[in-house]
A and B are shown apart, each in its own frame.
Chain A
Amino acid sequence: MTAVTAGASESTTTASVRGATGTGTTFTRWLGAATLVALGALAVLGLVVSPADVVQGESVRILYIHVGTVWVAYVAFIVTALSSAAYLWKRTTSLTWDRIAGASAEIGVVFMAVTLFAGALWGRLSWGAFWVWDARVTTTAFLFITYIGYLAVRDLGGSHRQRARRSAVVALLAVLEIPLVHFSVKLWRSVHQDASVGDRTSDVTLDGLMLFTLMLALGAFTLLYAWWLLHRQRVLAMRDALDDKGLDRALAERRTEGVQS
């Protein structure tokens, strides 16, 4: 890189840094506001307004968190898989897909940690134990660990392209692995109750307000996911840009050293 282009890239750096002192835009600010309102409403509805369950009592309120977060975690991991496939497919390959995959997996891991924690608390109240070796619970734990591994692979180092290709393959291998783990653990044992809502053969009916609260939980956590994803993806883009700049600068410095000696 010559001195002129180095100077030019210098000015664009300051411009883009000035333009992005944060990662917020008008859209994400509105999205953030909507998320906070939805979460506030969920807290009021879930904790105060909605009734306690006939069988489970007050502990049913944990489920709004448990179901809402696990829903988002699954959405997040699906987004990771799809973005990884989009990166590997030659016609759509772009580091943006890679960063969306990474950001989504990070958020998914956070939500799944909440799911497991809330589930353990609920299990203690309903099943009498924090943990049971049931198929779905065990698979969820494996899913959680698998994506922690995925995030570790993203931190292995190397160029951005290298990171992107490697982590995309690992994300797609996880898609291969998870159904297998689930199937084998299910063969091993199962006591988890099947999903109650949406199962037409079951006679479990949900109180209207409880159903509404549950749907609100799904919506609120999905908004939170979208809000975080946009921000996190931009943070990752800035981090990559910073890495590139650091490399360019180091190269330029070595070159000037070469000229001087």
Chain B
Amino acid sequence: MSTWRTALLIAMKDLRVEARSRIVLVQVLPFAGLVMVLFAFALDSDTVLERVSPGLIWMATVFSLLIVVQRSFGVETADGALDALRVAGVRASGIFVGKAIALAAQLLALEVLLTVLAVVLYRAELDADGLVLFVTTVLVATCGLAFVGTLYGGLAAGAKGRETLLPLLLFPVVAPVLIGATRATEAALGASGAATSEGWPWVALLVVFAALFGAGGTLAFGSLIEE
């Protein structure tokens, strides 16, 4: 079976698990919304919130990424499903890409909600030019986050103390995404007086990040999950 076909099957499986359990829908999405409200409590000023809303969207995304990744690999390790997949001879690169696709789909849903909340709660504004930049940023950043999340999630899966280890490994790595996506979103929203054209170089950084970790993960994932 080709890697792509495997990846697609794995992604469909993960999304079907989510559709039936609705963990992301009823737990992670409300959590992300709650984080946005808590930011408003902590910063307590309309002008400050307006200015920092791009950063807050991505901070909330990164926090939620952690939970979604834990969940994604919790499903795999609970009944030794990951080992079973390996024993069945399923290609590790296929598992990696598949889980990353499913993760990206869930993150996208999350980011839509966070954006709506930023518009409603923080009075962020988008024009047509900004919208193109914003959608591109979200798509590319999500790919990068999904690859990195899957890579380190697979590494920590099944290990004792993984809940505490994962943020330690993941947060330093996602720093470039946080910086790049925040700056690009700032340009898209026109926050802090940034022009829309200033955002595209940051998108390039996000593309490089996604490409590097996509390739790295496809190559290395087998070594990481092998027992």
Contacts and interface: CB of A to CB of B under 8 A. Distances in A.
Interface in B140-164: 151, 155-156, 159-161
Q: Chain B, interface size: which category?
A: 20 to 34
A152 interface: yes
Contacts of B151: 173
A38 interface: no
Contacts of A184: 175-176, 179-180, 205
A132 interface: no
A51 to B, nearest CB: 40
A157 B168 contact: no
Interface residues of A, number: 28
Contacts of A172: 220
Contacts of A47: none
B172 interface: yes
Given A166-B224, A169-B224, A172-B220, A157 B160 contact: yes
Interface stretch (B23-31, B67-75, B114-122, B206-214): B206-214
A187 B168 contact: no
A157 B159 contact: yes
Interface string B207-227: 011001100100010011011
B139 interface: no
B205 A183 contact: yes
Scoring B165, B172, B213, B220 by chain A CB atoms within 10 A of each residue's CB, the highest score goes to: B172
Interface string A155-174: 01110001001101110110
A203 to B, nearest CB: 33
Majority SS at the chain A contact face: helix
Contacts of A152: 165, 168-169
A166 B155 contact: yes
Contact of A176 (B159, B171, B175, B213): B213
Nearest to A147: B172
Contact of A185 (B159, B160, B179, B212): B179
Interface in A166-218: 166, 168-170, 172-173, 176-177, 180-181, 183-185, 187-188
Contacts of A145: 168, 171-172
Given A153-B165, A153-B169, A180-B176, A187 B224 contact: no
Contacts of B160: 156-157
Contacts of A125: none
A184 B227 CA distance: 35
Contacts of A67: none
Contacts of B155: 153, 166, 169-170
A145 B213 CA distance: 19
Of A162, A173, A187, the most chain B CB neighbours within 10 A belong to A173
B175 A185 contact: yes
Given A142-B175, A149-B169, A181-B172, A156 B159 contact: yes
Interface string A126-166: 00000000000000001001101100110011100010011
A165 to B, nearest CB: 5
Interface string A213-257: 000000000000000000000000000000000000000000000
Interface of A: 88, 142, 145-146, 148-149, 152-153, 156-158, 162, 165-166, 168-170, 172-173, 176-177, 180-181, 183-185, 187-188
